[in-house]
Copies of this chain bind each other. A is one copy, B any other.
Amino acid sequence: MSEIKSDTGPNLPHPADDEIQLAKVLFALSDPGRLELVRQLQEAPLEAARCHLTDPEIPKSTKSHQMKVLREAGVIRNEPHGRGRLLSLRREALERRFPGLLEAVLGAL
């Protein structure tokens, strides 16, 4: 056991709060599959392996790609967690940057 944060580990790059761009966020959310994933993170962070229940046939590489688009847009965080990954919504960052946006998107039918 070690408390040292492994630099060599699978720590993926995330944009800083103030680097999050509106256009990229809107684009990331403009896909039904990605939007669905975001909805699943509404209540609480989720292990990647536990979401996307709707389509169990999707290859993991495809799923990984969708997570990447959301992560690079600054919509979700993707961190190591046990032998998998923990996905979470970047609520605070998005709210600070684009107040009301996430709520409006998630609130829609």
Q: How far does the alpha carbon of A35 sit from the alpha carbon of B30 in the complex, in Å?
A: 14
The count of residues in chain A whose C-beta lies closer than 8 Å to any C-beta of chain B is: 21
Beta-carbon contact of B108 and A104 below 8 Å: no
Q: Is A12 an interface residue (CB 8 A)?
A: no
Q: How far does the alpha carbon of A24 sit from the alpha carbon of B27 in the complex, in Å?
A: 10
Interface segment, one of A3-11, A55-63, A77-85, A93-101:
A93-101
Mask for A26-39, Cβ within 8 A of B = 1, else 0?
11011110010000
Among A22, A23, A24, A30, chain B packs the most CB atoms within 10 A around the CB of A30
Instruction: For the complex formed, measure the closest distance between the CB of A65 and the CB atoms of chain B, giving whole angstroms.
Output: 17
Instruction: For the complex formed, measure the closest distance between the CB of A42 and the CB atoms of chain B, giving whole angstroms.
Output: 15
